[in-house]
């Protein structure tokens, strides 16, 4: 696959930083490894991860085939919203981990996809084949996976370039004063608790995070919020609801204080409700809606 540096903002910026902005699901460590191994060429020549770019540069990237791993295909039921030879869209169940990691070697969405799909893209690496974006374990709803590298690359570009629509439903502890709003700040890793993310003013550790929100209804002092993600940072909605609106998501075991929750619910009340994007190959406009879980029923009466 090939990239061209057209935006002048990337002049004098690092090669690995640019590629990470284009391939949002690939870690910087893996990108640096691909560069060092000669799988990524800058203007036809080997480069280093910290090589400075200039406008007009061309980057040629060749992804090696995923190495054999112990990630096995498992016959786990999937709620498929759409599927063709290029991609698959599923309604991820609450409680399902997206890909294998420490503590979750199997039983993940990736294990299910490996069983269900004949082919998956290799860009995400051997532990994350096909995975273009992620949802937290506790979050349910729409998730798309790619079946080959071209579809993966174009979907990643859509996610990083804000050319798709991601709508979430969040039931929060309390009621915001305003009817709607826009939250725009930076989110980075929490300086003390590495499991958490936090709002930060530091550009070196925080990435731009933008969420538009609207209050839909209120039930027993708790509001149902419609969130539109314009960026896709880790825990973005959870952090924005807690730190920017002051209303943590109900059932959030990381950011909420259990003793202050007005309603006790058995799950994180966050659902990836709608996903809209242009098909990476056919260019057809696609719109998907994951059925709203029953726990949200009181707000939808």
99, 72 contact by CB (below 8 A): no
Whole-angstrom Cα distance, residue 215 to residue 266? Answer: 22
- Residues 6 or more apart whose CB falls under 8 angstroms from that of 292 comprise 169, 271, 273, 300
Beta pairing partners, 182: 212
| Residue with the larger pLDDT of the pair 192 and 73 | 73
Same domain, residue pair 143 and 291: yes
For 42, the domain range is: 2-61
Which tens digits make up the pLDDT trace of 212-243?
A: 999 999 999 999 999 999 999 999 999 999 99
Whole-angstrom Cα distance, residue 229 to residue 239? Answer: 13
Which tens digits make up the pLDDT trace of 184-211?
A: 999 998 888 878 999 999 888 889 999 9
User: Among positive and negative, which fits the CA dihedral 99, 22, 143, 251?
Assistant: positive
- Is 74 contained in some domain? no
- Is 70 contained in some domain? no
Same domain, residue pair 250 and 181: yes
Same domain, residue pair 16 and 149: no
On the question of pLDDT at 66 being above 60, the answer is no
Phi, psi of 91 (to 5 degrees): -95, 95
CA proximity to 252, closest of 233, 229, 235: 235
Q: What is the mean pLDDT of residues 160-170?
A: 92
Same domain, residue pair 196 and 115: no
Same domain, residue pair 12 and 90: no
- Is 75 contained in some domain? no
- CATH number for position 30: 3.10.290.10
On the question of pLDDT at 34 being above 60, the answer is yes
What is the pLDDT at residue 184?
Answer: 97
- CATH number for position 178: 3.30.2350.10
Whole-angstrom Cα distance, residue 38 to residue 45? Answer: 9
- Is 143 contained in some domain? yes
- Where do we find the tokens 């696609």? 286
Number of domains in the chain: 3
Which tens digits make up the pLDDT trace of 42-55?
A: 999 999 999 999 99
On the question of pLDDT at 67 being above 60, the answer is no
Same domain, residue pair 250 and 202: yes
What is the pLDDT at residue 259?
Answer: 79
According to DSSP, residue 178 is labeled S
Same domain, residue pair 132 and 88: yes
Same domain, residue pair 50 and 31: yes
- Is 69 contained in some domain? no
**Alpha carbon 99 to chain centroid, angstroms:** 12
- Is 270 contained in some domain? no
Same domain, residue pair 194 and 280: no
- Where do we find the tokens 């893996």? 30
Give helix 15-22 / helix 149-161 axis angle, nearest 10°. 90
What is the pLDDT at residue 68?
Answer: 52
252 is catalytic: no
- Is 253 contained in some domain? yes
Which tens digits make up the pLDDT trace of 79-137?
A: 999 999 999 999 999 999 998 887 788 899 999 999 999 889 887 776 678 899 999 99
Same domain, residue pair 172 and 146: no
Residue 82 backbone class (left: φ over 0; alpha: ψ -120 to 50; beta: rest): beta
Average pLDDT, the chain: 91
Determine which one of 16, 25, 57, 136 is catalytic.
136
Same domain, residue pair 171 and 257: yes
On the question of pLDDT at 31 being above 60, the answer is yes
| Complete DSSP assignment for 52-118 | BP-TT-EEEE-PPPPPP-S---------EEEE-SSEEEEEEPTT--SS-BTTBSSSSHHHHHHHH-S
- Is 66 contained in some domain? no
pTM of the model: 0.78
- Residues 6 or more apart whose CB falls under 8 angstroms from that of 52 comprise 12, 13, 14, 15
Same domain, residue pair 220 and 242: yes
Pairing between β-strand 197-200 and β-strand 180-189 as defined by DSSP bridges: antiparallel
Q: What are the C-alpha distances in Å from 72 to residues 68, 105, 192, 227, 231?
A: 10, 9, 35, 35, 32
């Amino acid at each position: 696959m090939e990239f061209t540096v057209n935006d002048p903002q990337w002049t004098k910026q690092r090669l690995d930083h640019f590629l990470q902005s284009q391939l949002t699901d690939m870690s910087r460590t893996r990108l640096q490894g691909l560069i060092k191994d000669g799988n990524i060429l800058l203007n036809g020549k080997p480069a280093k991860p910290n090589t400075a770019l200039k406008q007009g540069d061309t980057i040629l990237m060749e992804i090696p085939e995923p190495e054999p791993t112990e990630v096995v295909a498992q016959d786990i039921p999937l709620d498929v919203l759409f599927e063709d030879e290029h991609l698959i869209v599923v309604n991820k169940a609450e409680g399902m981990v997206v890909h294998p990691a420490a503590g979750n070697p199997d039983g993940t969405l990736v294990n299910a996809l490996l069983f269900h799909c004949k082919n998956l893209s290799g860009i995400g690496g051997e532990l994350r084949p096909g995975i273009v974006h992620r949802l937290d374990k506790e979050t349910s709803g729409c998730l798309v996976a790619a079946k080959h590298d071209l579809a993966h690359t174009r979907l990643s570009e859509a996610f990083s370039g804000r050319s798709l629509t991601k709508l979430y439903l969040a039931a929060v502890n309390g009621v915001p004063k305003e009817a709607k709003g826009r939250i725009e700040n930076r989110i980075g890793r929490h300086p003390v608790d590495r499991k958490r993310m936090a709002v930060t003013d530091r550009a070196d550790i925080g990435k731009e995070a933008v969420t538009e929100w609207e209050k839909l209804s209120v039930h027993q002092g708790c509001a149902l919020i419609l969130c539109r993600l314009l960026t896709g940072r880790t825990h973005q909605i959870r952090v924005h609801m807690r730190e920017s609106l002051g209303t943590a998501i109900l059932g959030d075991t990381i950011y909420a204080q259990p003793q202050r929750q007005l309603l006790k619910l058995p799950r994180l009340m966050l659902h990836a409700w709608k996903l809209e994007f242009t098909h990476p190959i056919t260019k057809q406009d696609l719109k998907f809606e994951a059925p709203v879980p029953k726990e949200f029923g009181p707000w939808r009466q």
